[in-house]
Amino acid sequence: MDYWKSHRSMKFAREIDEGTPECGFESLPSYLYMIRRVNPSTVTRLQIDELGRFMYVFLAFGASVNGFPFMRKVVVVDGTFLNGKYKATLLTALAQDGNFQIFPIAFAVVDTENDDSWHWFFTQLKLLIPDDKGLAIISDRHNSIGKAIRNVYPLAARGICTYHLYKNILGRYKGKEAFRLVKKATRCFRMSDFTAIFEEIEAIHPALHGYLQRADVRLWTRVHFPGERYNFMTTNIAESMNRALSHARGLNIDARSQPTTLMRGVEKLLHGHVTAARELTVQRIDDPHTEVKYGSSSESLNVINLVERKCTCRRFEREKLPCVHAIAAAEYNNICRISLCSPYYNSEYLVSAYAESIMPADSAQPVP
């Protein structure tokens, strides 16, 4: 059997097993109805043109809608191509739970990534996640995404993926030392550290410095970001979801198996901080303030306020987890380090986030 006969045979077999693409589009209204019926709180939208032809579809399962309040308020959005007769683009909105695992919020299928499709997607997403100053949206540098966020989510803070920024820099500019400094600048917690590194970049590579200024430091740096982006510096969780979906695979998460007060990933992280904290020198300043430094060096001195949950290194307030200095101060003052963590990292939040299941459509039920 030659190649093309094999190809036609495989295509014919798939249509017998899965149906034709046309049948799939035709059955969308019935499928969405059945999904809503067995999954309360599920939000679906089907957009058609004036001739009744498919344009866009949006789906957010009730389990995701009711679980998102227990996530940190950072949403990562991305688009990826779909393969098939009619092509299309899959848009996704994702979050990350306190155990650093991917939490899907919503999906949409549109024709392509443009102003209209992204505006429509964010308009539907706003029904689930209202515009708020405490919300952050992370994406790549696609112009249509930026326009849609400004129009639909004017209060939310927008950040761009640093990985995409790095790829652009590597393609346009040369110099390993300058690139290393850019990576350091993106992750700075203190303004003074960022300023010093940014000035060094300007001295080494003026053209790169100009490019980074035009890219808007509020979008790609942690220290200038107007909202709270925690550890979200890239859209890697979207890339991971795209890969999982491309192979039709998913991960089951049993949140009830958490044996600790905090989530496993956070406990492991803090345990490493505890080991490092025991090498620090601690001294009380007053009731809320504690001084922490390495040995006798005053250059590494940091001041921690355990009441306001702040440290002069700025990591404590940015990530909402106690830094190594805060843990040293907490142990010195006999304060439980767990009490210093944001509730988003608590196991109870994880259990609540995954309390609901996603049920499959019941084909035995009649569709009106």
Q: Is residue 70 part of a domain?
A: yes
Q: Are residues 84 and 203 in the same domain?
A: no
Domain count, the chain: 3
Q: Which two tokens mark 122?
A: 């964010």
Q: Which of 95, 126, 154 is the last residue in one of the domains? A: 154
Positive or negative torsion for Cα 262, 265, 266, 270? positive
Q: Is residue 246 part of a domain?
A: no
Chain segment 126-137, per-residue pLDDT in tens: 999 999 999 999
Q: Using the structure block, give the residue that is written with the tokens 């964010």.
A: 122
Q: Are residues 314 and 344 in the same domain?
A: yes
Q: Are residues 126 and 175 in the same domain?
A: no
Look at residue 296 in the predicted model and tell me its pLDDT: 66
Q: Are residues 172 and 66 in the same domain?
A: no
Look at residue 235 in the predicted model and tell me its pLDDT: 87
Phi, psi of 286 (to 5 degrees): -150, -165
Q: Are residues 142 and 202 in the same domain?
A: no
Q: Is residue 18 part of a domain?
A: no
Q: Is residue 106 part of a domain?
A: yes
Q: Report the distance separating Cα 61 and Cα 67, nearest Å.
A: 10
Q: Are residues 32 and 138 in the same domain?
A: yes
Look at residue 253 in the predicted model and tell me its pLDDT: 23
Q: Are residues 178 and 103 in the same domain?
A: no
Neighbouring CB atoms inside 10 A of 31's CB total: 17
Q: Is residue 13 part of a domain?
A: no
Q: Which of 154, 187, 222 is the last residue in one of the domains? A: 154
Look at residue 120 in the predicted model and tell me its pLDDT: 97
Q: Is residue 250 part of a domain?
A: no
Q: Is residue 10 part of a domain?
A: no
Q: Report the distance separating Cα 282 and Cα 329, nearest Å.
A: 7
pTM of the predicted model as reported, rounded to 2 decimal places: 0.82
Q: Are residues 130 and 193 in the same domain?
A: no
Q: Are residues 220 and 302 in the same domain?
A: no
Tell me the three state secondary structure of residue 367.
coil
Q: Which of 135, 154, 173 is the last residue in one of the domains? A: 154
Q: Are residues 111 and 193 in the same domain?
A: no
Q: Are residues 76 and 121 in the same domain?
A: yes
pLDDT along the chain (368 residues), means of 10: 91 80 84 91 93 92 94 93 82 91 93 95 96 95 95 96 89 83 93 94 92 93 92 85 58 38 77 85 88 76 92 91 91 87 87 86 84
Domain around 146: 24-154
Look at residue 255 in the predicted model and tell me its pLDDT: 36
Q: Is residue 4 part of a domain?
A: no
Q: Are residues 50 and 103 in the same domain?
A: yes
